[in-house]
Amino acid sequence: MLKGIPPILSPELLKVLCEMGHSDRIIIADGNFPSESMGKDAIVIRCDGHGVPELLDAILTVFPLDAYVEKPVNLMEVMKGDTVETPIWDTYKEIIAKHDARGAAVVGNIERFAFYEEAKTAYAIIATGEKALYANISLQKGVV
């Protein structure tokens, strides 16, 4: 155990977050996301049993968001014709506002298949047990 480090951040996840450089991206994926197939060229970290919000909150305590891009956080857009509600996005924006003074302004949306293509080039993908639909989130690392 370490002081000041959220215990949900495993040694493996802390190592990956530390190894990432400026502009590298990490995906925090919901339970339906194809983490293993999208992450063939990435590090895939299993966090089954945990939801995205608690991981997002913990990660943002140690992970700076990129200040040199307009939207260092991106969500997967709801597909046209899909009637899914996404209240979890409001939760994400509240969490982000706790850790970044720019608040919800740093959050963008990416079309579903474009999100998949970006995930294929991410440094790492965290596979969670999140049950909410369209709960995937991409974070781009900044500098300290």
| Residues involved in catalysis | 22, 66, 116
Which pair of structure tokens corresponds to residue 67? 């200040």
Cα separation, 29 vs 129, in Å, equals 8
| Residue 39 falls in which region: left (phi positive, over 0), alpha (psi -120 to 50) or beta | alpha
Cα 86 from Cα 58, distance rounded (Å): 21
Q: How far is CA 141 from the centre of its chain?
A: 11
User: How many CB atoms are located within 10 Å of the residue 18 CB?
Assistant: 9
Cβ atoms < 10 Å from Cβ of 121: 11
Would you say the C-alpha torsion 32, 134, 27, 52 has a positive or negative sign? negative
